[in-house]
Amino acid sequence: MSELLPNYLAGQWQSGDGPGTPLFDPVLGTELVRVSSSGLDLQGGYAYARDEGGGALRALTYAQRAGMLAAVVDVLKANRDRYFEIALANSGTTRQDSAVDIDGAIFTLGQYARWGAALGDTRWMGDGDTVPLAKDGSFRSRHVLVPTRGLALFINAFNFPAWGLWEKAAPALLSGVPVVVKPATTTAWLTHAMVADVVAAGVLPAGALSIVCGSARGLLSPLQPFDVVSFTGSADTAATIRADDAIVRRSVRVNIEADSLNSALLLPDAGPGSAAFELLVAEVVREMTVKSGQKCTAIRRVFVPASCYASAGEAIAAALAQVTVGNPRNSTVRMGALASRQQWEGVHAGIAKLRRHTEVLYDGTSAPLVDADPAVAACMGPTLLGGSRPDEAAVVHDTEVFGPVATLLPYDDLEDAVRQVRLGQGSLVTSIYTQDAGQAAQAALELADGHGRLHVITPEVGAAHTGHGNVMPMSLHGGPGRAGGGEELGGLRALQFYHRRAAIQASAPVLDALEAAREAHGTAD
Ligand code: NAP
């Protein structure tokens, strides 16, 4: 039997009861490690995190906590090679795809370390200006943001075991809030390895970082009103979490990052042969194949003018045909595996559902695999579908197939395109491709209310842009409606989730004393 990974809770490594749930290599089908959260004293573990971890973190200033994040970066960099080995074995990803997760995590942490250092040696942040309440100005109001005195529980998805932890932990720890992470079981090993290395290095105070691997059962019950939950995963699990007593009755603050039918939109000015058209084709192919399409931000719907439908379909299909699929240990392989055979079955079922309403423009599902047994490996070539009657195919705007799959959809005019994008009911990101800066700005504003991010690609940024699906810590991540309604990252905005806002109404001298105490060391407005 493989090793049972212990949980780290209440400052101790503790194994869960029973044999645990096995994690597998999705290419070879071999068992790697096991996890169990059964029988853990969650209540005691959470209390330790709040009291010991939270207390120690809040005693530090933002700049000191930023220094801690920088130390975590050093630990992760020192162990980086092993993380790639674990990702190769447990996620079945190529080195390039693993880097999106692992190096993305390290980059994001480093960025928050730099931003945090600039906040200086302060312990609270201001929000807006001081405003007079009394006519003579003697009595005023000042809004302050102070770290919440609870813990941050992260319930994460399987597709980003590294970045998914650190993109949340960076702003939480910088805010002075201790973290308990529950990674998705399928790929929990990498999250576990990173936490184990950081704990062993002793760069965080006791109780600042805990990990529970295995079933999520009972995870929300011990939460208290000042705790926060950040969830990333499917809309169905999100609905269960939202209905939990912790959220409904104890007002635990919750952030939801759920699934999303993200779009790529070619504007009417950009026909075949234009630079914008070529950029759309390249980006769609990249988004469909990076991490086998298992990115919450991946392009699922591609909107082009009806006159370009055939040429766009041909160009994307031709590029997809070049993608080699199989065992990522073979250096000729460009696209590795899905995270598990269960995911593989789910993607096949999703394609079958979409195919009832669409035509197949490229079918890679039966293409031969490189160095992988098709009966065992969770590997699958990409599929491009097309819909010439999009209004009759509501399913295309509603069904997230979490794999290398996208649907090409024609539109009549820009109004029709915007209407169709909106059928996604709120998305994380839409990318817009055009030669025309004015049209780009207009389309971006028109779509802004339904998205967390608009990624506008004009030819002059063809080489410089950061990628439709890449989540940069400087920009907001999240989206309204279907996408979960959450907000993450976006620079220091992310810290707000881990702070409580209060208005302090007082005399001018009291408020001056408040500012003076802080400004003696720096400012954090
Ligand atoms: P999932 O099945 O919803 O699982 C997500 C997490 O929730 C896992 O840790 C899971 O634990 C846990 N969980 C399951 N049942 C739970 C319950 N009743 N209460 C509390 N937690 C529970 O999602 P997934 O399959 O891992 O991830 C794929 C989905 O995530 C896709 O739909 C994708 O779009 C979405 N996603 C969104 C974003 C974003 O930022 N918007 C990012 C990445 C992924 P177990 O693994 O132990 O079941």
> Is residue 437 very low, low, confident or very high in pLDDT (cuts 50, 70, 90)?
very high
Whether residue 85 lies inside any domain: the answer is yes
Cα–Cα distances in Å, from 164 out to 6, 13, 112, 427? 20, 22, 15, 19
38 and 85 in one domain? yes
CATH number at residue 56: 3.40.605.10
350 Cα–ligand 1 center, Å: 17
Nearest CA to ligand 1 atom 42: 296
Does residue 77 fall inside a structural domain?
Answer: yes
Among 36, 232, 241, 347, name the best residue to mutate to test ligand 1's pocket (greatest count of ligand atoms within 8 A of Cβ).
232
Confidence check: pLDDT of 388 > 90:
no
Q: How does residue 391 score in pLDDT terms, banded at 50, 70 and 90?
A: low
Same domain, 197 and 147: yes
Residue 468 counted as domain residue: yes
Contact in structure between 11 and 48 (CB atoms under 8 Å)? yes
**Active site residue: 213, 296, 308, 379, which one?**
296
3-state secondary structure 183-252: CCHHHHHHHHHHHHHHHHHCCCCCCCEEECCCCCCCCCCCCCCCCEEEEECCHHHHHHHHCCHHHHCCCC
Does the C-beta of 232 come closer than 6 Å to ligand 1? yes
Cβ pair 523, 127 in contact under 8 A? no
In short, whether 237's Cβ falls inside 6 Å of ligand 1 is yes
Whether 204 and 280 share a structural domain: no
Q: Is 210 a residue whose pLDDT tops 70? A: yes
Residue 483, in any domain of the structure: no
404: domain CATH number is 3.40.309.10
Same domain, 194 and 324: no
The tokens describing 158, both together, are 């399987």
* 525 domain-assigned: no
For residue 16, the CA-to-ligand 1 centroid distance in Å is 21
Closest CA to 193 of 90, 108, 53, 111: 90
Q: Which of 25-34, 52-61, 126-135, 511-520 has the lowest mean pLDDT?
A: 511-520
* 248 and 268 fall within a common domain: no
Contacts of 133 (CB under 8 A, 6+ apart): 139, 140, 141, 505
Which candidate in 167, 213, 257, 287 is catalytic? 257
Shared domain check, 314 and 344: yes
pLDDT at position 393, please? 72
Residue 146: which domain range? 3-258+488-520
Considering the domain architecture, whether residues 196 and 297 belong to the same structural domain is answered as no
Above pLDDT 70, what percent of the chain? 98
Residues 298, 282 within the same domain: yes
Of residues 266 and 394, the one with the higher pLDDT is: 266
H or E segment and range at residue 84:
helix 80-90
297 lines ligand 1 (CB under 6 A): no
Closest CA to 474 of 457, 461, 493: 493
Give the single-character DSSP code of 53. Answer: I
Q: Is 216 in the pocket of ligand 1 (CB under 6 A)?
A: yes
Nearest to 213 by CA among 249, 257, 181: 181
pLDDT tens digits, one per residue of 172-207: 999 999 999 999 999 999 999 999 999 999 999 999
Both 468 and 500 in one domain: the answer is no
How far apart (Å, rounded) are the C-alpha atoms in residues 424 and 413?
18
- Per-chain mean pLDDT for the chain: 96
- Residue 136 counted as domain residue: yes
Q: What percent of the chain has pLDDT over 90?
A: 95
* Residue 339 banded pLDDT, cuts 50, 70, 90: very high
If one counts the domains in the chain, the total is 2
Is the pLDDT at 34 greater than 90? The verdict is yes
Whether pLDDT at 344 is above 80 = yes
Buried b (16+ CB within 10 A) or exposed e, 129-138: ebeeeeeeee
Q: What's the rounded Cα separation, in Å, for the pair 183 and 403?
A: 20
Could you tell me if residue 480 is inside a domain? Answer: no
* pLDDT over 80 (residue 502): yes
Q: Is the pTM of this model over 0.85?
A: yes
pLDDT in tens, 396-421: 999 999 999 999 999 999 999 999 99
Mean pLDDT computed over 495-506 = 98
Return the ∠ at Cα 280 (arms to 276 and 284), rounded to 5°. 170
Kindly state whether residues 271 and 196 are assigned to the same domain.
no
User: Measured between alpha carbons, how far is 325 from 369 in angstroms, rounded to an integer?
Assistant: 6
Section 475-494 average pLDDT: 97
Identify the residue with better confidence: 522 or 51: 51
Nearest CA to ligand 1 atom 47: 185
C-alpha–C-alpha distance, residues 428 and 253, integer Å = 21
417 with 440, same domain: the answer is: yes
Clarify whether residues 211 and 233 are in a common domain: yes
Q: How far is the CA of 155 from the centre of ligand 1 (A)?
A: 7
296 carries an active-site annotation: yes
* Ligand 1 atom with the shortest distance to the CA of 186: 46
Predicted pLDDT of residue 392:
61
Q: Is residue 371, in this structure, part of any structural domain at all?
A: yes
Question: How far is the CA of 266 from the CAs of 277, 317, 485, in angstroms?
Answer: 7, 17, 26
Instruction: List pLDDT tens digits, range 269-313.
Output: 999 999 999 999 999 999 999 999 999 999 999 999 999 999 999
- Which residue puts its alpha carbon closest to atom 13 of ligand 1? 216
Question: Residue 520: pLDDT band by 50, 70, 90 thresholds?
Answer: low
Question: How far is 225 from 234, CA to CA, in rounded Å?
Answer: 24
Asked if residue 395 has its Cβ within 6 Å of ligand 1, the reply is no
At residue 516 the predicted structure's pLDDT band, cuts being 50, 70 and 90, is confident
